[in-house]
């Protein structure tokens, strides 16, 4: 995030020129002005970033890890990134079960009703996460949809304590899920690795036994995505 004055000083460009460029970029939705007066990525820039992740040079390695994890879990696995007021899938490897929810690359997940969304919000300062919850549509989507602030904060506390998130029939009835964080080289959560299953196939206590293998895959994906690790080199 940056202010016009900071950009002017850092780039050694006159402030009026900076404002002119920022106005053009804002009009084209590449950047947006935040309530704090700083400029942040806009919807167009986020779309470009999302597209670049799909074309990442080491996409083959990424897909190998997802394929291996999907086979070990016997379920579909997905990668998602924060994008505005939602989480967006940018890659996934499908299992071969005939019955599963039809969620695909590019689909948006609710921030407060999905395992990945809650995992992302758990990294926010609590008051900021609460403000997002207050502004979110809290229509009861499923049997266990979180509807109150107290329950939401308690859920974020649980996620922070254990290092992963679950969706216990909060998004869809009959569907459970889990998500683990993928960190960049600075230790910042930049993506989520998740899986979901139908309750007719798996119970939540069984899904949670899969968390360690998901965390191991997330660590490897973090190296591939952010450090350019080549698996063939060891």
Stronger pLDDT, 96 or 153, i.e. the higher one: 153
Given a cut of 80, whether residue 35 has pLDDT beyond it is no
Of the candidates 45, 49, 40, 114, the one whose C-alpha atom is nearest the C-alpha of residue 78 is 114
The enclosing H or E element of 88 equals strand 86-93
Residue whose entry in the numeric block shows the structure tokens 């206590």: 205
Q: Write down the pLDDT at residue 29.
A: 75
Phi, psi of 58, deg, nearest 5: -105, 35
**Lowest model confidence (mean pLDDT) among 14-18, 145-149, 174-178:** 14-18
- With a CB cutoff of 8 Å and minimum separation 6, the contacts of 95 are 70, 73, 74, 75, 76
| DSSP structural state of residue 72 | H
Helices 211-227 and 59-73, axial angle in degrees (round to 10): 180
In whole angstroms, give the CA distance from residue 87 to residue 66: 19
Q: Please give the average per-residue pLDDT across 63-85, as a whole number.
A: 89
d(CA 69, CA 216): 10
| Dist CA 224 CA 92 (whole Å) | 16
Does the pLDDT value for residue 54 go beyond 60? no
Q: Report pLDDT for 3.
A: 78
The percent of residues in the chain predicted with pLDDT above 70, rounded, is: 82
6 confidence band (pLDDT: 50, 70, 90): confident
How many CB atoms within 10 Å of residue 220?
A: 20
Per-residue pLDDT tens digits for 196-221? 999 999 999 999 999 999 999 999 99
Average of per-residue pLDDT values in the chain:
84
Domain extents for the chain? Answer: 4-41, 56-233
User: Measured in Å, how far apart are the chain's first and last C-alpha atoms?
Assistant: 36
**CATH T-level fold of 56-233:** Beta-Lactamase (3.30.450)
pLDDT single digits (tens) 128-151: 999 999 988 888 989 999 999 999
Q: Mean pLDDT throughout 164-188?
A: 93
């Amino acid at each position: 995030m940056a202010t016009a004055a900071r950009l002017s000083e850092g780039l050694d460009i006159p402030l009026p020129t900076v404002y002119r460029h920022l106005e053009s970029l804002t009009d084209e939705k590449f950047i947006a002005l935040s309530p704090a007066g700083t400029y942040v990525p806009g919807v167009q820039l986020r779309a470009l970033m999302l597209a670049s992740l799909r074309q990442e040079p080491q996409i083959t390695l990424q897909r190998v890890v997802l394929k291996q994890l999907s086979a070990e879990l016997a379920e579909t696995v997905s990668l998602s990134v924060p994008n505005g007021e939602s989480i967006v899938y940018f890659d996934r490897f499908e299992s071969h079960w005939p019955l599963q929810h039809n969620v695909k690359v590019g689909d948006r997940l609710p921030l407060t009703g999905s395992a990945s969304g809650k995992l992302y919000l758990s990294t926010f300062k609590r008051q900021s996460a609460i403000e997002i919850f207050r502004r979110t549509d809290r229509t009861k989507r499923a049997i266990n949809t979180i509807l109150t602030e107290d329950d939401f904060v308690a859920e974020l506390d649980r996620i922070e304590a254990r290092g992963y998130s679950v969706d216990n029939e909060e998004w869809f009835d009959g569907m459970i899920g889990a998500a683990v964080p993928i960190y960049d080289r600075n230790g910042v959560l930049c993506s989520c690795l998740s899986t979901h299953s139908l309750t007719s196939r798996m119970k939540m206590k069984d899904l949670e036994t899969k968390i360690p293998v998901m965390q191991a895959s997330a660590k490897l994906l973090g190296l591939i995505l952010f450090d350019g690790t080549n698996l063939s080199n060891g």
